[in-house]
Chains A and B, each alone.
Chain A
């Protein structure tokens, strides 16, 4: 086989995947960028080149900025907590305890449920006066609170739902990594007289770093991608305090039918996610120890 045919062979093998990726990922992204420079076509008005006008509108759009800020808080709330919880659960169900299989299933169940179903269940947890949460707080003698209907608690309520939904999923990855770890390490550490916490901090956790990086990337993407529960639980309300970027894009695109502006918003989200991904891989990869 000569040099060329090797190349051709390779490219042919790559072609199906590359074609699908180009068709469903790269082409739409480029088309979206292109459309974001045009005005929105309406009856009797064709789409016209407007340059950066859509981006200028965005700078003056308070709902965009609020959604942006909400999304940062949402990410800040969900990512560290869901990862920490996942690690904790994984370490717990990895040990020798009674009812281990049951616990694993219990932790993983939220992941299997569709988000829409989860949101509907939680909607009733949060219902004022007779919801599950209210029944618990009233036992403690606390006054009734409208969890999803007040500005100060609505977003936090959504954060809790997301953590509950995600932690079990991340736990599976940690659990798999823990199971793959050689028991020799623990034995060696025990002989050297290392405590359990010291062993976890100095041996287990660093060895889990590749998993943590993978989980982190997923958690970041999900914090910008998950909006199903907003549709069910608050529809961005009250007064936009639970509006996240993607939900706002849906509103602009498919409720207002301002597809041009929605394209511009999508580009911002895409750029943001791209930056975050680059950041994660460049900075964290250096600190990650691969076996």
Chain B
């Protein structure tokens, strides 16, 4: 009884406060994960302040919610307890999870005017692959990336390779790597030719191999995986052979987090990592480096990655409209361009690359455009219903193969069987 009384009191006070403040302000809470280094929070705070200046009726409250993983945990816990954020940036691959938990609304239901519809169409199609399903748009690309190859031009020169030419295909990458791997007198490797990290989320890097081998890991509705496709097994065999047979990559599971450092320390001559590391590499590499698209095999390609905006179902229509306004504002061509320059993420829409500022930037730092040029070959990042679980069985299989516990074929067959079992309820 007392609790109810207190709640009533509280509500009354809140209502009074709300009425007191000029003209019912709409507040939108905004979960934002800090996924890369640098003064990112300062930039986001700046955006919120600028937006509030342009739109006096709306208050944007950014909440820095940890890593991507922590952010989805917080968002879904908040959703289940009844007070989710109004909008958030979460991994684009969490789309099915958010839909299955009934946490978000489709943008088509909020953005209804003709102008809004044109806005949804203004992004790179490669980024929309992870943002749309069942004919609806559930996410708006914000901080998106692809995998690229960074190479050390000095070490290329030392090994007698053309420092200005990256390996164009798998065969060349292997040949280059063999020349770039250095061993000391007692046979210990002091410098590896190539390094593809495999800790945490190896499936993403693996998609760099499968995409270039001309195969996709899942269907467009997220109900089926193709882990045991012969081309997938072939791709894994190539990756495993780099360390176990050809000995041009360190054996075992390679840590994602230390890979840029390995590159700076010249322990790896070529690395695969996200374009989001571009600014990091630019600031810390004490040698000339190059950035290239991933080497092709049957075709070029890379998965996309990174985070999307979404809008939550349990917020009021006014809040949803305010959030939409903010998202449109922050993804406008000029701001998308600025965001890309500040972080290294790929500016998410073609017209952002046509702004004068971006053109100047690319002229002075041409490698910034490599990720953009790779977009036309890019595919969706692995994402299905029960995403984390279906992805984990693939991760386990990949690590089992890379550490030699299973053959690539066995590992992928086991992973596929598990994935089919998990996805059974979603098959219609």
Question: Which residues of A does B touch, CB under 8 Å?
Answer: 42-43, 63, 123-124, 127-130, 138, 141, 143-144, 146, 148-151, 234-235, 237-240, 251, 254-258
Q: How far is the CA of A141 from the CA of B184 in the complex (A)?
A: 11
Q: How far is the CA of A115 from the CA of B371 in the complex (A)?
A: 37
Question: Which residues of B does A touch, CB under 8 Å?
Answer: 69, 73, 76, 97, 99-102, 186-190, 198-200, 250-255, 257-258, 261-262, 265, 267, 386, 388-389, 392, 395-397, 399-400, 402-403, 405
Closest Cβ–Cβ distance, residue B254 to chain A (whole Å): 6
Q: How far is the CA of A124 from the CA of B261 in the complex (A)?
A: 11
- Which among A149, A251, A254, A256 is the interface contact of B254 at CB below 8 angstroms? A149
Residues of B contacting A146 with CB < 8 Å? 250-254
Residues of A contacting B69 with CB < 8 Å? 255
Given A149-B255, A149-B403, CB of A234 within 8 Å of CB of B199: yes
Contact A151 B262 (CB under 8 A): no
Residues of A contacting B186 with CB < 8 Å? 141, 143
Residues of A contacting B190 with CB < 8 Å? 129
- Which among A130, A235, A237, A258 is the interface contact of B265 at CB below 8 angstroms? A130
Contact A138 B250 (CB under 8 A): no
- Which among A123, A129, A141, A239 is the interface contact of B405 at CB below 8 angstroms? A239
Q: How far is the CA of A148 from the CA of B258 in the complex (A)?
A: 12
Which residue of chain A has the shortest Cβ distance to B257 in the bound complex?
A123
Closest Cβ–Cβ distance, residue B198 to chain A (whole Å): 8
Residues of B contacting A256 with CB < 8 Å? 386, 388-389, 392
Q: How far is the CA of A291 from the CA of B362 in the complex (A)?
A: 78
Residues of A contacting B101 with CB < 8 Å? 42-43, 257
Contact A240 B396 (CB under 8 A): yes
Contact A127 B399 (CB under 8 A): no
Contact B255 A148 (CB under 8 A): yes
Q: How far is the CA of A239 from the CA of B254 in the complex (A)?
A: 13
The 11 sampled A-B contact pairs (Cβ below 8 Å) are: A43-B102, A129-B265, A146-B251, A148-B253, A149-B403, A150-B252, A237-B396, A238-B400, A255-B73, A256-B389, A256-B392
Top 7 A-B residue pairs of the complex, sorted by shortest distance between their CB atoms:
A149-B252, A149-B253, A146-B252, A238-B399, A238-B253, A239-B399, A239-B400
Contact A150 B388 (CB under 8 A): no
Residues of A contacting B262 with CB < 8 Å? 129
Residues of B contacting A63 with CB < 8 Å? 396
Q: How far is the CA of A240 from the CA of B411 in the complex (A)?
A: 14
Residues of A contacting B388 with CB < 8 Å? 251, 255-257
Contact A151 B403 (CB under 8 A): yes
Contact B188 A239 (CB under 8 A): no
Count CB-based A-B contacts (< 8 Å).
95
Contact B392 A251 (CB under 8 A): yes
Closest Cβ–Cβ distance, residue B308 to chain A (whole Å): 19
Residues of B contacting A42 with CB < 8 Å? 100-101
Q: How far is the CA of A148 from the CA of B253 in the complex (A)?
A: 8
Q: How far is the CA of A127 from the CA of B252 in the complex (A)?
A: 12
Closest Cβ–Cβ distance, residue A247 to chain B (whole Å): 12
Contact A237 B250 (CB under 8 A): no
Closest Cβ–Cβ distance, residue A142 to chain B (whole Å): 8
Contact B100 A238 (CB under 8 A): no
Residues of A contacting B100 with CB < 8 Å? 42-43
Q: A235-B200, A255-B73 are in contact. List 8 more A-B contacts (CB 8 A).
A: A43-B100, A43-B101, A129-B262, A149-B198, A239-B405, A251-B388, A257-B76, A257-B388
Which residue of chain B has the shortest Cβ distance to A252 in the bound complex?
B389
Residues of B contacting A128 with CB < 8 Å? 250, 267
Q: How far is the CA of A41 from the CA of B413 in the complex (A)?
A: 30
- Which among A129, A143, A258 is the interface contact of B267 at CB below 8 angstroms? A129
Residues of A contacting B261 with CB < 8 Å? 127
Contact A239 B392 (CB under 8 A): no
Q: How far is the CA of A173 from the CA of B187 in the complex (A)?
A: 48
Contact B253 A237 (CB under 8 A): yes
Residues of A contacting B405 with CB < 8 Å? 151, 239
Residues of B contacting A258 with CB < 8 Å? 389
Contact B399 A257 (CB under 8 A): no
Q: How far is the CA of A129 from the CA of B252 in the complex (A)?
A: 13
Which residue of chain A has the shortest Cβ distance to B69 in the bound complex?
A255
Which residue of chain A has the shortest Cβ distance to B388 in the bound complex?
A255
Contact B395 A237 (CB under 8 A): yes
Q: How far is the CA of A278 from the CA of B243 in the complex (A)?
A: 49
Closest Cβ–Cβ distance, residue A19 to chain B (whole Å): 15
Q: How far is the CA of A239 from the CA of B73 in the complex (A)?
A: 23
Closest Cβ–Cβ distance, residue B376 to chain A (whole Å): 33
Closest Cβ–Cβ distance, residue B257 to chain A (whole Å): 7
- Which among A124, A141, A257 is the interface contact of B97 at CB below 8 angstroms? A257
- Which among A123, A239, A254 is the interface contact of B396 at CB below 8 angstroms? A239
Q: How far is the CA of A43 from the CA of B267 in the complex (A)?
A: 49
Q: How far is the CA of A254 from the CA of B189 in the complex (A)?
A: 40
Residues of A contacting B188 with CB < 8 Å? 138, 143-144
Closest Cβ–Cβ distance, residue A250 to chain B (whole Å): 9
Given A146-B251, A149-B252, CB of A237 within 8 Å of CB of B200: yes
Q: How far is the CA of A239 from the CA of B411 in the complex (A)?
A: 11
Q: How far is the CA of A240 from the CA of B392 in the complex (A)?
A: 10
Residues of B contacting A138 with CB < 8 Å? 188
